[in-house]
């Protein structure tokens, strides 16, 4: 039995400050640009005010990209365009600055943190700050076996909590959350299908490298088989992650929930982050109020999960590469909303009118009588 009580998150997570949101709405009514004329930027500014508990909104000055990394055994079933066990190569490219998220982050001045939870490589080949939270080498093949033991799932979940605390304690004021994985979208599809009560075909996408039809059918079959194994444990979210998730997904779920506890806003990237958020919603129903959907990736599982959480993506550019790249593109939009909410001047108060519509005049002195 696990010693981790997930029900505690229901009590620990509060909604963003509703009073501050009303104050932000009132301030927006007084600004020189009419309310509604900035579209979703108005909503984003008010959401940030509630999340920060501050009016005017503070600028987003210390954002960070956090990527959880892992290899999934289900990739051995030919469900990915990348070879099974090759996620470590992607991590090295991210660290060396050669991936899309690296380029975008460098141009934006945003640091990138990679957290290895289950890469299938020798940990000595990666920096210590990347591998220090690793739970195991690769996750199990979920269509025929459990991804993790229950103890490993708990360790991964607690690692995610620890990473969230590290970020909050260091002053990070907004997280862009993504994954670096091979086979991760298959595990994410299983979680979404299980929690939304849908069939495998409804959530099976083609991944970041657009697999061909044959690989798509293999992926659909793997999700179908894993879904049969997931349904009996739907009532226990930690056991669900152990059965059909993976160490990186369990860690992302713990991370998301602890970010909500610490009142740290998060921008979600693709289907993997959305699936973990969906598990998080099942654990603590108020948690999604702290998250934004950065973009629509085109993965049907992501669309299903976001719809279930009532999260509307900020952007729709068809970015399917993963790694937090699509969500990072939404960061300037959030920063712009904060700047507009804080810096647009308010309309001057009209001068008070005199009775009968007359304007007050300076009193005139009476002429002095001549002597």
- Residue 97 in any domain: the answer is yes
- Residue 102 in any domain: the answer is yes
- Residue 305 in any domain: the answer is yes
What pLDDT score was predicted for residue 371? 42
- The residues carrying an active-site annotation are 323
What pLDDT score was predicted for residue 320? 86
What pLDDT score was predicted for residue 370? 47
Which residues 6+ apart lie within 8 Å of 314 measured at CB? 40, 44, 267, 292, 293, 294, 295, 330, 333, 334
Count structural domains, the chain: 1
The tens digit of pLDDT for each residue in 251-273 reads: 999 999 999 999 999 999 999 99
The closest alpha carbon to 154, from 230, 254, 70, belongs to 254
Count of residues making up the chain: 371
CB-CB contact of 79 with 116 (8 Å): no
- Residue 146 in any domain: the answer is yes
- Residue 47 in any domain: the answer is no
Burial of 58 (0-12, 13-18, 19+ CB in 10 A): middle
User: Low-confidence residues of the chain, pLDDT below 70?
Assistant: 1-2, 208, 350-371
- Residue 275 in any domain: the answer is yes
Domain CATH for 120: 3.40.50.10210
Q: How many helices, marked H, and strands, marked E, lie in the chain? A: 15, 5
What pLDDT score was predicted for residue 87? 95
Q: Which domain holds residue 303?
A: 62-334
- Residue 244 in any domain: the answer is yes
- Residue 352 in any domain: the answer is no
Which residues 6+ apart lie within 8 Å of 134 measured at CB? 116, 117, 118, 119, 123, 247
């Amino acid at each position: 039995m696990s010693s981790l009580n997930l029900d505690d998150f229901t009590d620990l997570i509060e909604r963003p400050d509703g009073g501050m949101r009303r104050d932000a709405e009132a301030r927006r009514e007084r600004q020189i640009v009419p309310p509604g004329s900035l579209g979703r930027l108005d909503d984003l500014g008010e959401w940030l005010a509630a999340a920060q508990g501050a009016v005017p909104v503070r600028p987003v000055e210390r954002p960070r990209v956090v990527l959880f990394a892992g290899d999934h055994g289900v990739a051995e079933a030919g469900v990915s365009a990348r070879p099974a066990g090759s996620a470590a190569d992607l991590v090295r490219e991210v660290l060396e600055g050669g991936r899309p998220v690296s380029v975008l982050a460098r141009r934006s001045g945003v640091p990138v943190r990679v957290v290895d939870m289950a890469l299938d490589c020798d940990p000595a080949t990666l920096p210590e700050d990347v591998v220090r939270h690793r739970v195991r080498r690769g996750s199990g093949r979920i269509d025929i076996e459990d991804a993790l033991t229950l103890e490993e799932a708990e360790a991964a979940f607690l690692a995610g909590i620890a990473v969230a605390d590290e970020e909050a304690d260091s002053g990070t004021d907004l997280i862009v959350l993504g994954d670096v994985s091979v086979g991760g979208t298959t595990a994410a599809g299983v979680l979404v299908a299980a929690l939304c009560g849908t069939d495998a075909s409804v959530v099976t996408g083609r991944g970041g490298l657009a697999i061909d039809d044959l690989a798509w059918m293999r992926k659909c079959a793997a999700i179908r088989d894993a879904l049969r194994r997931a349904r009996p444990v739907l009532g226990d979210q930690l056991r669900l992650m152990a059965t059909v998730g993976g160490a990186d997904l369990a860690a992302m779920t713990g991370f998301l929930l602890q970010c909500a506890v610490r009142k740290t806003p998060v921008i979600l990237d693709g289907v993997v982050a959305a699936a973990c958020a969906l598990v998080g919603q099942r654990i603590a129903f108020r948690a999604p109020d702290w998250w934004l959907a950065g973009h629509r990736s085109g993965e049907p599982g992501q669309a299903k999960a976001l719809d279930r959480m009532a999260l509307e993506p900020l952007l729709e550019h068809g970015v399917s590469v993963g790694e937090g790249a699509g969500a990072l593109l939404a960061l300037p939009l959030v920063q712009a909303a904060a700047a507009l909410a804080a810096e647009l001047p308010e309309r001057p108060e009209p001068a008070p009118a005199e009775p009968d519509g007359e304007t007050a005049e300076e009193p005139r002195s009476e002429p002095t009588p001549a002597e």
